[in-house]
Amino acid sequence: MIDNMNTGMIPLYRGDVMPKVAKVTISLPDELAKFLDECAKRWTTNRSGAVQRLIQRQKEEEIAELMAEGYQAMAEENRCEAQESFPAQAEVVLRDL
């Protein structure tokens, strides 16, 4: 069913040159193998394409989490800097009134 589909139906790269590919052999419990086949069928690809898509999705989620953590850290840093500089800004504003 899925094994006879063409490889590379989901291009996960940009540009004209396909990146170097590593072959990986994995073993899955029947339940996960069936789920993988269902995903591949739903996404009109093969098992390899489905695994690529799932791994890419996980990678993007982890990057998004790291970015969110970074933004939160920067927000705290910016808040501290604003609190430190507020008295000097207030002094200038009040003096100019």
Helices (H) and strands (E) in the chain, counts: 2, 0
CA distances from 41 to 19, 30, 37, 38 (A): 25, 16, 6, 5
What is the tens place of the pLDDT at every residue in 21-36? 899 999 999 999 999 9
Global pTM value: 0.59
Q: How far is 54 from 49, CA to CA, in rounded Å? A: 9
- 87: Cα separation from own chain's centroid: 41
Q: Look at residue 45 and tell me whether its pLDDT is greater than 80.
A: yes
Secondary structure E strands in the chain: none
